[in-house]
Structure 1
Amino acid sequence: MEEEMLNSKFQIQRLSDIPEADIPKTLEEVVKVEKEAWPEEIQAPLEKFQARAEVFPQGFLLISLPDLGLVGVSTAEIINYDPLHPPISWEETTDNGWIRSTHNPEGNALYLISVGASPRSAGRGVGTRLVQEQLDLARRLNLDYLVLGSRIPKYHEYHLRHPEMTIDQYLLLTRSGGEVLDPEIRFYTRCGLKVIRVVPDYMEDDPESENYGAVMVWENRT
């Protein structure tokens, strides 16, 4: 009940619904959330958010809370996803985050470029709501899939303590309740996505994940 009350206070917007004159100021707020949500080495600059806003504003999702302002941002593009040949790198799939050459309006999948929630909103369900809203967009657009490349941010820390542990073995580790040990993979699993493949060098400059990424997919069965 508490989570439902918190969710009811969300202000949910897509950049496509924001007046053009307000977009520059909105993007400045987006960059602030990006800096709060991610390590410096993987933060996207303002220019990349501007490009995503120009190419696919409908996939540019914003969540605000009355007491905190903007706290959650997710950006997306449409791609043609082949289950037999999943994406091999975030950079290649997103044109390194610019999406000008990779967004395909005729594609069959919504690819999440980013999902970021400010730690100021911890415990408020912002990250989950971001993914839920993007899943709803995939349904409304009659897309077959939602795809993303998840970080595996606790692997490096665990690997230091257990040098013999491979990435595949690590992802098989579970908590006492049976859920996946890694918090980011666990988060997306709770949202209905499944790990399809683990890819080395999926993301550049992500030492926490040792540059591994997990391709995760939700299939639209409606």
Structure 2
Amino acid sequence: MEYNHDDYTIRFARPEDLEALIQVEAECFPAAEAAGRESFQARLEIFPDSFLVAELADGGRIIGFINGAVTDARTISDDMFEKADLHNANGAYQSIFGLDVVEAFRRRGVAAALMNRMIETARERGKKGLILTCKDRLIHYYEKFGYVNLGLSQSVHGGAVWYDMILEF
């Protein structure tokens, strides 16, 4: 699956993307919140079809990505971030663990294109919807896609305060 834009292509992640994914994550999240090498390796092995990257058309540099396991839960629990084997391909909800775009390409619609493609993919696969956690400053951003704020999350991932969001079809 490829989804083309003028400057970049959205495609499924591949094992050889690992180093680039680690670099993008390190640029986008504080160390306490960033996924590490082992997490990304497991995600690429266990749910590559729930892991999309935005890659520059003129050189193949990965400038962003979106990923998450599929689950029957309506909210994300902290153990899901580290235990990729909790992924249930037949689950009801596509979760979003991370939506990352490197700073030089922010405010150009890359994150929105990644999110919209993940929403389309979940809909095509017959999921009930998508779930994510976010910080309060991003609630309004995700509401633009149709997500609804369920309130303060039980998640304490990275020591931050998170809010549960859900988009139901």
Q: Do they superpose with TM above 0.5?
A: yes
Q: Structure 1 residue 119 and structure 2 residue 117: aligned?
A: no
Match of 2:50 in 1: 59
Match of 1:204 among 130, 138, 157: 157
Comparing 55-64 with 39-48, greater Cα deviation is found at 39-48
Matches within 5 A, 1:1-222: 7-15=5-13, 18=14, 23-24=15-16, 26-66=17-57, 69-81=61-73, 86-87=74-75, 90-92=77-79, 94=80, 96-100=81-85, 102-152=86-136, 182=137, 184-200=138-154, 202-206=155-159, 211-220=160-169
Larger proportion of strand: 2
Q: What is the deviation of 1:205?
A: 2.4
**TM-score scaled by structure 2?**
0.88
CA distances 1:110-159 after superposition (whole Å, capped 9, x unpaired): 1111111111212211111111111011111110111111123xxxxxxx
Unaligned runs of 5+ in 2: none
Unaligned runs of 5+ in 1: 1-5, 153-181
**TM-score scaled by structure 1?**
0.68
> Distance between the aligned counterparts of 2:144 and 2:43, measured in 1?
27
> Distance between the aligned counterparts of 1:45 and 1:31, measured in 2?
7
Question: Partner amino acid for 2:150?
Answer: I
- The alignment's C-alpha RMSD in Å is 1.9
| Aligned partner of residue 39 in structure 1, secondary structure | coil
> Distance between the aligned counterparts of 2:167 and 2:150, measured in 1?
10
CA distances 1:182-201 after superposition (whole Å, capped 9, x unpaired): 2x11211112211012125x
Q: Percent of counterpart pairs with the same letter? A: 22
